[in-house]
Amino acid sequence: MNVAEYCREIEAYLCRQNGGHLIRIVGPAFERISRWAADGVPFRVVTEGIDRKLTRKRAIGGRSRPVRIEHCEADVLAAFDEWRRAVGVTAAVDKTHGKPASGELAPTVSRHRSLPRHLERVQTQLTNLLAEPEMRAGLHAALDAAIRALDALGEVGVTRGAARDGVVASLAEIDAALLASSRAAADELVPALVDAAEGELRGFRSRMSTADYDSALYAAVGCLLRRRLKLPTIVFEP
């Protein structure tokens, strides 16, 4: 997808999400999106940032005004930062100045998160998924195994030090097991997800070793599968 096509796709998506109200992406907005393209921000990640912005806007209510792409930038960059950390790639670097190509991709500020609340939210999401009708064969067992593993952690409460680190490590293991089992249960989806993941990583391929690329590709497929099956992120990042 070249820059012009990338821009048109984002413009069309923003139009649909704005209820058909078309806002042309020109001038500074086009320059901003061109930088996203140069930095390798996948189209799917841009749409995720747009969705986050619109979800918050709709939750507030009040007079509905079309959202411009500029209003979504912070959410797009936050989603990109999360995607890069999940997949294991770094932002494109400007060889002249040694800075991110756009000059704007600073790491997102980490906010203190509650481990007990994270566990409660994840368990609720898993339980809701388990109750959905027409559950994919094999996925029911994967979700049930994840819930049982989380229950086995017991009451976390205010956990500190080595005990907290142990819980965090366990959550990463449970998350990996859920993704692996879900991937096996939805194996017919994997070829298309691999193609999509390769597209997302195309801008980073030349700067990665074969081993790093293979690892990033596997992780990127996992991200797409998680989104497709609406699986919660069990991994906890403070």
Q: What are phi and psi of 100, to 5 degrees?
A: -50, 140
Report the percent of the chain where pLDDT is more than 90: 53
For residues 92 and 20, what is the distance between their CA atoms, to the nearest angstrom? 34
pLDDT at 64 (0 to 100): 72
- Asked if 80 and 115 touch (Cβ cutoff 8 Å), the reply is no
Answer yes or no: do 204 and 162 share one domain: yes
Q: Is residue 155 part of a domain?
A: yes
Query: Domain total for the chain?
Result: 2
Asked if residue 193 has pLDDT above 80, the reply is yes
Picking from 152, 122, 231, the residue whose alpha carbon sits closest to that of residue 186 is 231
List, in sequence order, every residue forming a beta bridge with 99; answer none if it has no partner.
94
How confident is the model over 136-191, as pLDDT tens digits?
778 888 999 999 999 988 777 666 788 888 889 999 999 999 999 999 998 899 99
Answer yes or no: do 8 and 49 share one domain: yes
Q: Is residue 27 part of a domain?
A: yes
The domain in which residue 62 lies consists of 3-100
Sequence-distant (6+) residues with CB within 8 A of 135 are: none
List, in sequence order, every residue forming a beta bridge with 163; answer none if it has no partner.
none
Answer yes or no: do 122 and 86 share one domain: no
For residues 81 and 74, what is the distance between their CA atoms, to the nearest angstrom? 11
Q: Is residue 105 part of a domain?
A: no
Q: Is residue 219 part of a domain?
A: yes
Answer yes or no: do 214 and 189 share one domain: yes
How confident is the model over 121-135, as pLDDT tens digits?
999 999 999 888 777
Q: Which residues in 117-150 are b (16+ Cβ under 10 Å) and which e?
A: ebbeebbebbeebeeeeeeeeebeebbeebbebb
Q: Which pLDDT band, with edges at 50, 70 and 90, does 97 fall under?
A: very low
Asked if residue 93 has pLDDT above 50, the reply is no
